[in-house]
Amino acid sequence: MKRATLIVWEGDDRLASLLRPWAVQQRWLLRQPRSEEELLSQGASAHLGAVVLRFGRDLEREFALLARLSTALPDLAIVVVLPEPDETLAGLAWDLGACEVLPLFRCRETLVPLIARLFPTSEAAHVPPA
């Protein structure tokens, strides 16, 4: 049976470790792809999903990935985490399809409630048409 999937794309385990207890509690799959292709494949097979993309290593490549992901899978909820508050980059992330943009320092307090609000429990339990 397919389960709602939370995909975290980052260089370390920082955001995944914040989200893991919530994902376990909600019975969501938590995936941490290691390559862009893997990320796209996991996004395509998630019947209901959210992706957290942490930026800061190679912005051009990361924003190109965001654009590709949001174009190919427009129903994924994509949250972009920037290293610092940056209005210009946040605006770009919105234009390229992010549904929310957060600076890293706000993740500890806001990321889990945000993901929870993105998919109310009833929706996560619902199987959308194939």
Interface pick for other proteins out of 3, 68, 83, 124 (rule CB under 8 A)? 68
Interface pick for other proteins out of 32, 97, 112, 124 (rule CB under 8 A)? 97
Cβ 30 to other proteins shortest distance, Å:
19
Closest CA to 93 of 54, 57, 66: 66
H/E stretch holding 24:
helix 14-26
Find out whether 114 and 77 touch, Cβ atoms under 8 Å. Answer: no
Interface pick for other proteins out of 2, 13, 17, 27 (rule CB under 8 A)? 2
Cβ 62 to other proteins shortest distance, Å:
10
Interface pick for other proteins out of 40, 48, 81, 111 (rule CB under 8 A)? 40
Question: What does the DSSP assignment read for 84-120?
Answer: S--HHHHHHHHHTT-SEEEEGGGHHHHHHHHHHHHS-
Segment near other proteins (CB under 8 A); pick from 11-19, 24-32, 82-90:
82-90
Return the bridge partners of 51, or none: 7, 78
Interface pick for other proteins out of 77, 80, 112, 124 (rule CB under 8 A)? 77
